[in-house]
A and B are shown apart, each in its own frame.
Chain A
């Protein structure tokens, strides 16, 4: 025993704690259980890492996502084996699709028991192989420290993503060597990073195209946000230097200031009329850090038929996957943008806003259609009104806003304006109902002084409402606004438009009294049913020091518009007044 305790020999559990501290981790989200108890014991005797106890492991995963997205740091989850680990799978898949850096540490039954159907045993490396960037089963405590550092390196570098480390209980208990932070020399992975050297010939070609464009549009995504503040700065510079219009994807909101005059709104299925029409009619499209997702492209064969397309992305798998492009460059958005700005300056090019005035005039005509307008009401709260009000009242606080998934998510994306990156937290790729509340928890933990709001729906909120307990325990002043229409609104919308109003299972019966529910957790509940009272009640919510659950009772049958019917082209976009013209061209499109 004395030999085991000598100098740099530690228990596996101690190595996990030390390695996390060396990675600069000060906050983790998790839930203890049998197979991870040695780690939780080591956690008990230290004070550098703050553990946030969620009420469900899925909550821990989304909270870590919210933490990661709002800070740019790696989010960390610690859970036990079996159900603890399998409960994180939705969160890991969510992070995989939205390129969020996570490290999930799961306990596992002891190595000798693996494969015998032990209590709470699940083959979590097998189960998560297709939803993680990489995963590990640690079999030797002497490998543990290195593996943790490699996992962080992989999670945050290149196209970020989730990494899982499965650590059997005996590996946590055994003693082994830990060498501290070491340089990660993984040849197979480094080789791919070397491919990211910028090709200056291509930068020059991009500027050739930029300086000749007559109808250009920048289309930028989550890659701008993942690349960091510098990417947003260079993007702003480039847009102001060129004088060109820009649209953002759902994941890219905030990467470019929404209140800037060059911004023409979000694009895609529920994007603005002007953004989608501009995508369709442009002669040059510059995609930076987006992946031609089907929500964005609509019908692929009719996608932007007359444009030259440039694609800048860190992941070469995204190039030519859906849309064939004319010029692709693989690399980090901020580095490439910096090079483009430099080349633009080197050539002494002037702002081209006036030279493309025909294009801007066309865009302004489209903007005049005011595609986000809705029928006003004196008696009932319209979701658009609620979110415009919320935006107006909270703008000065530059809040973090998370959402769940469905109609409320699209309305939030349409009506709340983000001028900064990392403020907008939403489940874009996977579309995970139940993401919003825990993601707001993660963002509030990371940004204790900031206003953090979660815009949710009645159906989505119920999926992870147990996290009200976490909010209460850590005194997190999160404001949750439920846009309550007593429906799974987006499902109902599709049933109305496509399935002749057969509302199959989309009606939420037996909803709880959300105010009483909040109060049962010791949280302030506010209900508002009247548009005249909304401003006052929103102010009451904002001014309340602690958490608030706000039940905002809205119009039941409001639909999200504009809308590009699934399987249709950008220029077939429908406004709210044209709902009757809805034609589903491809019944298999989702």
Chain B
């Protein structure tokens, strides 16, 4: 079981300083692991603390070791694998641009409506949608958009947490 390659999402609380992200990323690259998605943003009022969310594919054993090694990095406060925890939830945001004739744009608007996406901009032959959902959900919508003149996608990568009152601090 531990040898199975699957998706892991890791949350890291880290001091907001240069070099910290590089050290974190190098832990993955040094083991030949690809980072599927990554996002970083300060989460404290004084902007001194950031939360990084990393999505990667690997065996549980290696990801466990990576989490321990992440915790060993000096500016890292906590590194926790979220995917294996009860109550795991994730969201991702994508900005999607469609350029096409009227028929295709209308088709796209219908799909957008079905999936409750927001329209950010309509200019000339182009429409920009904002999609929020799980990564798999976004993949599904993009699949439907692709014959309609899908000309650009920008995804934020996964942001993740837990349902209910459970917090990062509650995990050993």
Contact = CB atoms under 8 A, between A and B. Distances in A.
B1 interface: no
B91 interface: no
Interface string A418-447: 000000000000000000000000000000
Nearest to B76: A188
A187 interface: yes
A187 B68 contact: no
Nearest to A186: B74
B23 A129 contact: yes
Contacts of A130: 26, 30
Contacts of B15: 188
Interface in A75-100: none
In which size bucket is the chain B interface?
Answer: 10 to 19
A188 B23 CA distance: 15
B68 A137 contact: no
B72 A315 contact: yes
A191 B77 contact: yes
Given A187-B77, A188-B14, A188-B77, A317 B22 contact: no
B69 A129 contact: no
Taking chain A's interface residues, is the majority helix, strand, or loop, or is none over half, making it mixed? Answer: helix
A188 B19 contact: no
Interface in B69-124: 69, 71-72, 74-77
Interface in A287-324: 315-317, 321
A133 B77 CA distance: 15
Nearest to A317: B68
Contacts of A189: 74
Given A187-B77, A188-B77, A321-B65, A137 B72 contact: no
Nearest to B27: A130
A92 B18 CA distance: 21
Contacts of A192: 71-72
B26 A154 contact: no
Contacts of A133: 74
Nearest to B23: A129
A188 B26 contact: no
Interface string A260-278: 0000000000000000000
A129 B77 contact: no
A192 B68 CA distance: 11
Nearest to B61: A320
A129 B18 CA distance: 12
A316 B68 contact: yes
Nearest to B15: A188
Given A188-B14, A188-B15, A316-B68, A126 B22 contact: yes
A137 B19 contact: yes
A187 B76 CA distance: 9
Interface string A120-137: 000001100110011111
Contact of B18 (A137, A186, A316): A137
A134 B74 contact: yes
A553 B145 CA distance: 78
Contact of B74 (A125, A188, A316): A188
Nearest to A150: B74
Interface string B14-36: 11001100110010001000000
B147 to A, nearest CB: 44
A35 to B, nearest CB: 19
Contact of A135 (B19, B71, B72): B19
A562 to B, nearest CB: 32
B55 to A, nearest CB: 22
Contacts of A188: 14-15, 74-77
A128 to B, nearest CB: 11
B22 A129 contact: yes
A126 B18 CA distance: 11
A189 B18 CA distance: 17
A189 B77 CA distance: 7
A37 B68 CA distance: 40
Most A-side CB within 10 Å, residue of B30, B65, B71: B71
A337 B114 CA distance: 66
A345 to B, nearest CB: 32
Interface in A127-160: 129-130, 133-137, 154
Interface string B145-158: 00000000000000
A125 B65 contact: no
A187 B44 CA distance: 14
A154 B71 CA distance: 14
Interface string A150-186: 0000100000000000000000000000000000001
Contact of B69 (A125, A137, A186, A317): A317
Contact of B72 (A125, A129, A187, A317): A317
Contacts of A315: 72
Contacts of B76: 188
B65 A317 contact: yes
Contacts of B65: 317, 321
Most B-side CB within 10 Å, residue of A136, A315, A317: A317
A154 B74 CA distance: 8
Contacts of A135: 19
Nearest to A135: B19
Nearest to B69: A317
Contact of A129 (B14, B19, B68): B19
Nearest to B66: A317
A75 to B, nearest CB: 19
A133 B19 CA distance: 13
Contacts of B75: 188
Contacts of A187: 77
A63 B72 CA distance: 27
B171 to A, nearest CB: 14
Nearest to A139: B18
A192 B74 CA distance: 9
Contacts of B23: 129
Nearest to B78: A191
Contacts of B22: 126, 129
A133 B71 CA distance: 12
6 contacts: A133-B74, A136-B19, A187-B77, A188-B75, A188-B76, A317-B65
Given A130-B26, A134-B74, A189-B74, 7 more contacts: A126-B22, A186-B74, A188-B14, A188-B75, A315-B72, A316-B68, A321-B65
9 nearest A-B pairs in the assembled complex, by CB-CB distance: A134-B74, A188-B77, A317-B68, A188-B75, A189-B74, A317-B69, A129-B23, A317-B72, A130-B26
